[in-house]
Structure 1
Amino acid sequence: MDLRLVHLCILTLSCSFAQDIDLGTVIFANVLFRHGDRTPLNPYPTDPYKNESLWPVPFGQLTNLGRHRHLLLGRWLRNRYEHLLPDTYSLYDIYVRSTDVDRTLMSAEANLAGLYPPKDKQIWDNDIKWMPIPIHTIPEKQDNLLAAKKYCPKYDYEIEKLKNSPEIQRINKENEKLYIYLTEHSGKKIDSLESIEYLYDTLSIENIFNLTLPKWTTPVFPYKMQKLASMDFKLPAYNKILQRLKSGLLLGEMINHMVKKQEGALYPDRKLWIYSAHDTTVANLLMTLGVFDEHCPPYTATVLMELRVNTKEQYFVTISYKNSSAEPTLLTIPGCLALCPLHQFVKLTKDTIPEDWEKECVLDWEQHESSINLTTIFGILTSSILMLISLVFMIIGFVYWHYKREHNQYYRRLTTDPI
């Protein structure tokens, strides 16, 4: 029997199971969402809309539509967790973390404006119905939790190994004509799933803005490009090693929150932990959980990891995914039901959470050797030769100076004796 059919049957059964039983009450939730709508990050060379002045905000920034979508998502979260959150903000109830990027920070702010409209004593200005709430972040290059951009040699080695694998090279080979076509018309070298996704993202945004796309895009956008762009979101967390190093810390923190909540040891005793991040963050977490359905996560795509308790005081975890304005879809991680007992959830995800991330990022010697390519070797040899030449000239200069000194090669007073 087709494995995909088996998986579909299991998913259908677990979904119907979840509908037939009491899901209990949510007592804590980890919420991860993508930022709202933005302008293109970096238009392609032949892009007729590459002049930034043609856009309402600079490249890569959150648009008014993006702000509004997150305001609405915040109101939706308020409605979902009305039983859990008091009407007024308290630092003991919620913690918000964002990547250190303008659009994610602004999305979090807009979201919180919908989640916590000020009431009573928290109204500090009658003309501004807004409550300032702290959003925590650290520089991207230091962030191995949410941005996942802190330097990790092992991850770089493994992702490069994947990109050069027969499987990915076969995909590139099969789409070689498309790559050449896109390269010729976009003016940018397109030779991988990553570069396809970059171009697809730009065209998608221009399409959302109702801009007329160049005629050359008609045969390839959106369908031919969309399939490959969606595939690209699987790569960063494609296998267990990549999952541990890319998304394992975030999943581990989320699980730690729920375990401590069950034990009554979460301090402060928060109800909601919000993460504002990117489409890749959403895809990586879903991949790590084994529930990613190949697609490009849209703006405000949201993952809900909720801790629930039933009338028998039993603790369960549910994973839901909200990728549009519709209600979220209940997902089922491999090896469990949609309503997964907390202890079993912990057991099933244990192999994707690193015990010591810094240590696991270190390359062993064989990997270190194979990661040194010819360009690196040439660079090392060139630097060494230049240093050697500089050293030789320094020695020659010193010897010449010493020779002049020993032979008294200095200016002398002119003699006045007759010749």
Structure 2
Amino acid sequence: MRTVEAVVAVVTTCIVFGASSAYSKNLDLGTIVFANILFRHGDRTPVDPYPTDPWGNETLWPVPFGQLTNVGKSQHLRLGRWFRERYSHLLPECYTPYDVYVQSTDIDRTLMSAEANLAGLYPPEGDQVWDKLKWMPIPVHTIPELEDSLLASKKYCPKYEMELQNVMNSPEIRKIDDDNQELYNYLSKKAGTMVQSVSDVSGIYNTLFIEVLYNRTLPEWTKSVYPDKLKPLADFSFTVEAHNKLLQRLKSGRLLGEMVDHLVSKSKNALFPNRKIWIYSAHDTTVANFLMTLDLFEPHCPPYTATVLVELRVNSLKQHIVTISYKNTSAEPRLLTLPGCEVACPLGKFVELTNDMIPKDWAKECLLGWEQYAHNITMPSIFGISILLLVIIILLGLLIIGVVYYHRNCDSNRYYFKLTTDPI
């Protein structure tokens, strides 16, 4: 029986990305002087098993639902060691906060992945060894999910939500839903949950995928749909959240903008403090949305530890160039070509090509204008609002009548006192 770690390694090597091959000797890629790193967390248990799942009891798993497993910790430890080797010319062996900054979404598995990764990147040396454990505590920064518009992208954005609904109701997506309605009905019945979209399918697929990795026997009903019928829809689901330019700008634009700022500031020796690496620990959707924003994504589920590298380099002509690489296996990362540029993209051209995807004021751009509110007003909603206003007016009128009556009654009795001889 293969170990879970071995199975994970085999599965992640099967994804082929249609992009440039690994570093070509014909390219003048120069020397890396700065790196933005975005990666997905490591191996985890299912987040939300479907209601009829025979493996839906948390006690059947090595760690609670959605948590990083030992396999996941090991994956990121090895990735951190790979970073150490790749950036050995850039990073001193001893940790200093002036060299690296790490930000994670506020989720246990991404925080733990970042910490495991840093254990591989910065094994303590010299006077930084403080215990036989041989581990160096390094800060990982985060903010609550619902306040995070940079990495988790969960902060509420009205315009994004409205546009996402427009996409979900578009002819393209509706056709996919209509073509797969029979499958949706089958899954709803067998899984015991309402399946109405590709995202719902992806959730079930993801759970089954993990259960196969852990050698769990799947229910008989899954044999006719997993993986062949579910995987294409699950892969496609990763294109929905950043399906068009507006969604991309509002979903991943801030992250792209921050990375571009790092590159430009570094090229001018104006990055303060003068860091060499900026690390972002996040999710498969984060990786997919970011690549979608750069028009570099081919539908697939980014595997555990999938990594995007946006690196600033100085070539032999002393020019600043930018390279984008995608690492989703244990092999070397693949160079990707930003549409409209070369593999070794001049920094100025890179800034120009990405400018339209970066919001100038994210919070302001998230607001809906009156014409957009008006666009959402339908006749039923107008009728409902009218009824509500009528009810409010009637209640206010009754309240005013009651107050007037009360005061008049009080005034008529203000100077009148009943005598003991008055009949009771």
TM-score (norm 2): 0.89
What residue in structure 2 maps to residue 32 of structure 1?
A: 38
Identify which range, 197-206 or 46-55, moves more after superposition. Answer: 46-55
Work out the CA distance in 1 between the residues paired with 2:415 and 2:224: 82
Identify which range, 356-365 or 210-219, moves more after superposition. Answer: 356-365
Question: How far apart are residue 326 of structure 1 and its match?
Answer: 2.2
Work out the CA distance in 2 between the residues paired with 1:295 and 1:366: 37
Residues 38-86 of structure 1, C-alpha deviation per residue, up to 9 Å, x if partnerless? 2222221211122222222222221221111111111111111111111
Does the residue aligned with 2:413 lie in a helix, a strand or coil?
Answer: coil
The answer to whether the 8 Å contact 1:257/1:266 transfers is yes
The answer to whether the 8 Å contact 1:31/1:273 transfers is yes
Work out the CA distance in 2 between the residues paired with 1:170 and 1:417: 85
Residues 366-397 of structure 1, C-alpha deviation per residue, up to 9 Å, x if partnerless? 22122346786677567656645653553454
What residue in structure 1 maps to residue 6 of structure 2?
A: none
Work out the CA distance in 2 between the residues paired with 1:372 and 1:51: 45
Q: Does 1:322 align with 2:327?
A: yes
Gaps of 5+ in 1: 1-10
Q: Does 1:103 align with 2:92?
A: no
Identify which range, 257-266 or 49-58, moves more after superposition. Answer: 49-58
- Root-mean-square deviation (CA), in Å? 2.5
The one-letter code matched in structure 1 to 2:298 is D
The answer to whether the 8 Å contact 1:113/1:130 transfers is yes
The one-letter code matched in structure 2 to 1:170 is K
What residue in structure 1 maps to residue 352 of structure 2?
A: 347
Question: How far apart are residue 247 of structure 1 and its match?
Answer: 0.7
The answer to whether the 8 Å contact 1:316/1:340 transfers is yes
Counterpart of 1:208 (choices 213, 235, 257) is 213
Question: How far apart are residue 293 of structure 1 and its match?
Answer: 1.5
Gaps of 5+ in 2: 1-16
The answer to whether the 8 Å contact 1:97/1:275 transfers is yes
Q: Does 1:245 align with 2:229?
A: no
Q: Does 1:48 align with 2:48?
A: no
Question: How far apart are residue 398 of structure 1 and its match?
Answer: 2.9
What residue in structure 2 maps to residue 83 of structure 1?
A: 89
Does the residue aligned with 1:333 lie in a helix, a strand or coil?
Answer: coil
Where do residues 325-340 of structure 1 align in structure 2 (5 Å cutoff)?
325-340=330-345
Counterpart of 2:298 (choices 289, 293, 309) is 293
Question: How far apart are residue 348 of structure 1 and its match?
Answer: 1.3
Question: How far apart are residue 365 of structure 1 and its match?
Answer: 2.0
Question: How far apart are residue 344 of structure 1 and its match?
Answer: 1.3
Work out the CA distance in 2 between the residues paired with 1:12 and 1:205: 26
Question: How far apart are residue 230 of structure 1 and its match?
Answer: 0.6
The answer to whether the 8 Å contact 2:21/2:334 transfers is no
Residues 188-230 of structure 1, C-alpha deviation per residue, up to 9 Å, x if partnerless? 1111111111111111122222111111111111121110111
Work out the CA distance in 1 between the residues paired with 2:238 and 2:258: 22
Work out the CA distance in 1 between the residues paired with 2:320 and 2:153: 30
Does the residue aligned with 2:25 lie in a helix, a strand or coil?
Answer: helix
Residues 6-39 of structure 1, C-alpha deviation per residue, up to 9 Å, x if partnerless? xxxxx98964893323321111100000111222
The one-letter code matched in structure 1 to 2:278 is W
What residue in structure 1 maps to residue 141 of structure 2?
A: 136
Q: What is the count of residue pairs matched by the alignment? A: 408
TM-score (norm 1): 0.90
Work out the CA distance in 1 between the residues paired with 2:121 and 2:331: 18
